[in-house]
Amino acid sequence: IVTKAIASAGRRPELLDTRGTILLGLGLAEEALVDLKEAAADSPNATRLFHLARAHHAVKDRDAAARALRKAK
């Protein structure tokens, strides 16, 4: 459903964040990073940066996870 919404409405940060969070929950961290990086870059907020940090952590990029968490504050 989210992918259809992205196809229809465009690559909106709130949709990318939702899809990235879903992908992360499914264990697809690399794929999630693509969406979460774009969402956080286009419209950063604490929630999006936290989701991005979780994805970085999932792929064992501790430094990037820490940077995203610091920006989330």
DSSP 59: T
Cα 36 to Cα 58: distance, rounded to the nearest angstrom: 13
Per-residue pLDDT for 73 more than 90?
Answer: no
The pLDDT confidence band at residue 71, using thresholds 50, 70 and 90, is: very high
Look up the pTM and report it.
0.94
**CA distances for 73 relative to 17, 22, 40, 45, 55, angstroms:** 18, 23, 14, 9, 17
So what's the pLDDT on residue 63? 98
The pLDDT confidence band at residue 66, using thresholds 50, 70 and 90, is: very high
The pLDDT confidence band at residue 1, using thresholds 50, 70 and 90, is: very high
Average pLDDT over residues 15-34: 98
